[in-house]
Structure 1
Amino acid sequence: MDEIYKTKAIFRIEYELIFNIKGLRGERGWSQEVLSGKMGLAENFVGKCESLDQPEKYNLRHLGILKKVFGLKSLDDFFPNGIPKDEQIVIHYKKVPKKKVDGSDSKLMENVVVEIVVVDAETKSEGNKQNKK
């Protein structure tokens, strides 16, 4: 059976932003490295943002850059289904081999979401207490 991993709690808006940017990137046929280059950042930056097991995520400065790169009119365009609820989530995922162009398995791994769990209020307050220490 595949091992299931869990992220630290993140806000749903962060996850949906990453997911939607990945979709925009895919629509244009851009690799992670190509988008990183268009943003003027390190080649591996977008890959780290898209990886569930890496701490790097997009910030407000990146949103302005991404808006220009994708030619969007508004930051709202990153959220075609509306701004997500203000809630924290934990993502359960597994690592599977990426597929090569010929359909065979690559040695490189990618994360596949198995489940998204909303963090309850009690867990959030405990996390906030720990972060303040």
Structure 2
Amino acid sequence: MTEIYQTKAIFRIEYELILNVKSFRDDRGWSQEVLSGKMGFTETFVGKCESLDQPEKYNLRHIGLLKKVFGFKSLDDLFPNGMPKDEQIVILYKKVPKKKADGSDSKIMENVVVEIVVVDGETKAEVNKQIKSKSRRL
């Protein structure tokens, strides 16, 4: 049986920004390390932001850098499908081996989203406290 992991609560806008940046990066053929360098950060920065099991995520300070690096005219360009709903989510995911070029399994694992759950709460801290409390009771 595959183990299912859970992120802490994040806002949907944070998650969609991560997905969009990854798409923009892939469209340009840039690795995570290349984008990190273009933003002026260590080469592991973007990888941490894109990983579901790392707490680092893009923040307001990074949005202007992303706009500039991708050559966008407006911050709205970071969200080509429109602004996401103002809600918090928890992402359930599993870890699976990445595929090598020959199709065989690599030793490197990647996260695959199983489900996105909308959660109630005004702040991340409030929701994460609720989640922690529920998990202790199980």
Instruction: Give the direction of change, closer, same or farther, for the CA distance of 1:32–1:126 in structure 2 (3 Å limit).
Output: closer
Please, which runs of 5 or more residues in structure 1 have no aligned partner? none
Asked if the contact 2:39/2:69 (under 8 Å) is kept, the reply is yes
Separation (CA, whole Å) in 2 of partners of 1:33 and 1:122:
34
Q: CA deviation at 1:102?
A: 2.1
Separation (CA, whole Å) in 1 of partners of 2:129 and 2:6:
21
Please, which runs of 5 or more residues in structure 2 have no aligned partner? 131-138
Separation (CA, whole Å) in 2 of partners of 1:24 and 1:69:
10
Match of 2:71 in 1: 71
Match of 1:96 in 2: 96
Instruction: Give the direction of change, closer, same or farther, for the CA distance of 1:98–1:125 in structure 2 (3 Å limit).
Output: closer
Separation (CA, whole Å) in 2 of partners of 1:62 and 1:123:
21
Question: What's the TM-score, normalizing by structure 2?
Answer: 0.86
Q: SS at the partner of 2:107?
A: strand
Note the aligned Cα RMSD (angstroms). Answer: 2.1
Match of 2:32 in 1: 32
Q: CA deviation at 1:97?
A: 1.0
Q: CA deviation at 1:128?
A: 8.0
1:46-87 deviation per Cα after TM superposition (whole angstroms, max 9, x unaligned)? 000000010101111211111111111111111111111110
Q: State the number of aligned residues.
A: 130
Separation (CA, whole Å) in 1 of partners of 2:124 and 2:69:
35
Instruction: Give the direction of change, closer, same or farther, for the CA distance of 1:97–1:126 in structure 2 (3 Å limit).
Output: same
Question: What's the TM-score, normalizing by structure 1?
Answer: 0.89
1:77-133 deviation per Cα after TM superposition (whole angstroms, max 9, x unaligned)? 111111111100000000111122222211111111010000034997943888xxx
Match of 2:55 in 1: 55
Match of 2:135 in 1: none
The percent identity for this pair of structures is: 83
Instruction: Give the direction of change, closer, same or farther, for the CA distance of 1:37–1:121 in structure 2 (3 Å limit).
Output: closer
> Where does structure 1 differ by over 4 angstroms across 4 or more consecutive aligned residues?
121-126
Separation (CA, whole Å) in 1 of partners of 2:26 and 2:35:
10
